Amino acid sequence: MKMAYDIDSGRRKYITSWRNSNDPSPGDFNWRIENEGLPELVIRRGKMKLFRSGVWNGLYFSGGPPTPNPIFKPKLVFNQERLISISEIFNSSKLVRFTLETSGTLRRYTMNARRKKWIPVYENPLDPCEEYGQCGPNGMCRIDKAVRCECFKGFAPKFQKDWDHQDWSSGCTRIKQLNCENGDGFLEVRGVKHPDMLQHSLNTSMSLKECKDECLRNCSCVAYANPYITNGGSGCLMWFGELVDTREQPGADSMQNMYIRLPESELDSSIDLEKKEKKRPIELILISIASGVLVSGLINGSILLMTKRKRRGRNNEDVELPVFKFVTIVAATNDFSGENLIGQGGFGPVYRGCLLAKGQIAVKRLSRTSGQGLEEFKNEVMLTARLQHRNLVQLLGCCIEGQERMLIYEYMHNRSLDYFVFDQNRRTILTWPMRLDIIMGITRGLLYLHHDSRLKIIHRDLKTSNILLDGNLSPKISDFGLARIFGENQSIARTKRVVGTYGYMSPEYAIDGKFSVKSDIFSMGVVILEIVSGKKNWRFNHHDHYHGLLGHTWLLWKENRFLELMDECLKDTLIESQMKRCVQVGLLCVQKFAEDRPIMSSVVFMLGTDGAILPEPKEPGFFMERSSSTVGSCISTSMMSQKESMTITDLEAR
């Protein structure tokens, strides 16, 4: 079917829901093209708007994913910048069905020919932030926050008591009214789905600078933006009145921004401080760290740096990393406000922030009570700055000032993997194809660390919570504070300071302090089995035994009952052969003896090759029944005592 909205020919075609599951007569909901100067796709119930895709920005609908879906490929037909029809290209290798359900939900299905079953692959609205006007006028929806609605800067909840009960429909109102005569300014809001064009003005030929000037001249103009992100941004879209249905858009193009009008008193004058930052090489960063301690430490650190430089020789270039001022990070995080707190780890709290030049950022602030300290901070700076891979989180810079130690990372819109996999509601978002893609992404990142980067890195703390997900749910390995560099011919090391997270540690590391690439591979195996099952390893409980997840998986594998391991929410999207391969590779990775485990290149090959004959796994590490309550706490206490001891590392040849 072709949807159409052609004013010249008078053609209008749209999709209507059934009245109910047994009555195909027209129901209450319809999905159509609407065009008020910029086209978008809208679901309505009668005259009530329930969902909008966001307007066409020249490349895609601004409220949708920027990358095309490999399963369905829409064909858009324009006439003088007006979308007049949309249809889907038929691909005989993939049979796709598209419905508007009686509930008003838009769903796409693909046919699994082997199972003769329709598999749901996509739906709208996908999350609460896609529900129209979720946060009321002048509010913005952020799906990654516990309290998903917030007011734009310069605005406050219209009825605070409603907001306290998480009823955001009344929206926000200005704290200080605009004063056109005394001058106003604009606040840039980056990476958003633009508000609905309820009252607007559109000029497709203006530049952004001309648009700003035009908005300033019109006292009724409350915001402006480039409607198109093509060619570096073009056109002028101005809003008048309330800003409705705005959301933070994960994965949005860096040009998809808007500029909200505020009194100058409401604008943060410190926002330009970041422009004055300078880059410094890592060696200077390390010296700055040492300068905060004792003079003797500075001297010893300098000697150590000189020694390292001599060993590296001239072939290894110094890595430069931006050093941000403390006042810049304070401004970016709104003085480390509780609203911007997005996580808490062993290093310390993690805050979301926004820098003019970098966009959204994540700030890890070293806590003075943290179990980790200067050594881990220095280690993460040295390692992460030198590593570049699409499946590793990117370090943007650091802040070293007084007693403050902070790391500034790219912001991951979808938090960490455990936020989805272990949550009863959010886990349904991760279909089987998504989980397999996440597994493959993690293994490619680990392959880079072990084999393909200039440095051979052992992560030592690979776990589900250290896998971050970007706006497209692509995985990125994070947290290199405990990582270690191995020499080219080095295969194993031993430490008396066993650090990490129990449940992901290999037996040889947890018991004897020995670590190698095979330690990381054990952790990778645990992560694979957790992704497949949706269950945590160490906190796993079963009514028939007291084994952890590894032991439970082993028992099921031996009885050819591996399908029972599957997360129940995957039953409609699962491909059995792929799941079996993942379970088998996971068990191969967690085998008791390090020499039995595969290397990372073999793991990637086995996971990515259909029909490959895989070896049978042997008994996993820690295959022993625990007591129902005491064993975990005893081992955890033992680990804590080891964390407090001095690190003494011995290298062993093999």
Question: Catalytic residue positions?
Answer: 461
Tokens (6 digits) for 80: 């003088």
As a three-state string, the secondary structure of 540-588 is CCCCCCCCCHHHHHHHHHHCCCHHHHCCHHHCCCCCHHHHHHHHHHHHH
Kind plus residue range of the DSSP H or E element containing 15: strand 15-20
Contact between residue 644 and residue 498 where contact means Cβ atoms under 8 Å apart: no
Q: Which residues 6+ apart lie within 8 Å of 22 measured at CB?
A: none
Cα–Cα distance list, 104 to 40, 48, 375, 589 (Å): 17, 12, 55, 45
Q: CA-to-CA distance for 234 and 225, rounded, in angstroms?
A: 9
- The answer to whether 45 touches 19, Cβ cutoff 8 Å, is no
Which residue type is seen at 647? T
Closest by CA to 290, choosing from 407, 374, 366, is 374
Bridge partner residues of 320 (DSSP): 281
Strands 3-6, 246-248: pairing is unpaired
Tell which residue, 553, 560, 561, has the closest CA to residue 621.
553
The residue whose two tokens read 């393909």 is 452
Q: With beta carbons less than 8 A apart as the criterion, state whether 599 and 452 touch.
A: no
Q: What is the distance between the alpha carbons of residues 429 and 452, in angstroms, rounded to a whole number?
A: 32
| Token pair of 286 as six digits | 């390390």
Give the 3-state secondary structure of residue 284. helix
Cα distance between residue 128 and residue 363, in whole Å: 26
What phi-psi label fits residue 182: left (phi over 0), alpha (psi between -120 and 50 degrees) or beta? alpha
Which residue blocks in 62-175 are alpha helix, DSSP H? Answer: 160-164
| C-alpha dihedral, 235 to 66 to 248 to 146, nearest 10° | 180
Chain centroid to Cα 415, Å, comes to 5
Closest CA to 118 of 95, 101, 100: 95
* Proportion of the chain in helix, strand, coil states, percent, rounded to 5: 30, 30, 40
CB 279 within 8 A of CB 86: no
Cis preceding-peptide flag for 125 (omega within 30 of 0): yes
